Amino acid sequence: MGKSFEEVLRRIWEMEFAEEFDTIVAIANGGILPASLLNDRLNIDFQLIKINFRDEVQRPRFEHPRLLEPLAFDPAGRKILLVDDRIKTGSTIVLAKEILASAALIRTFAVNGTADYAVYDEACFRFPWKDTALLRKT
């Protein structure tokens, strides 16, 4: 059985961070919703980095993750919380960290997977906001 949106939200809201951040960077598209939830809690600068590797059913789309657009901000000197929905192989995060290398600090956040801050680390995880049965009810 999957997690409810309320449970995921509660765990994000209760998470403790050892560092202070001045910027949330969401990996688009999967990181946008969790980054928005974090931004609501932390109320700090919010930016996007458009990297893509997998399609909507988690199959690799490219041989390696790709930066789809140049950054619209300068990461130099920033303390960044880098957010994605899932960290599976880590290749997207590795590319993002390379691109953001001029930042003063980078910590990773994932709703599911291996990250500095992970809400869950489960092999089989269903995101409640991707539940098509729920979407059909609206």
Going from the N-terminus, what domains does the chain have, and what CATH number goes with each? 5-136 (3.40.50.2020)
Q: Which two tokens stand for residue 132?
A: 């098509």
Give the position of tokens 């949106």: 5
What is the rounded CA–CA span in Å between residue 45 and residue 67? Answer: 21
Hey, what amino acid is at 107?
R
CB atoms within 10 A of CB 82: 29
Q: Check residues 20 and 54 and name the one with the higher pLDDT.
A: 20
Phi, psi angles (nearest 5°) of residue 68: -90, -25
pTM (two decimals) = 0.85
Helix axes 32-42, 5-14, angle to 10 degrees: 50
Q: How confident is the model at residue 91 (pLDDT cuts 50, 70, 90)?
A: confident
pLDDT attached to residue 48: 96
Give me the chain's average pLDDT, please. Answer: 87
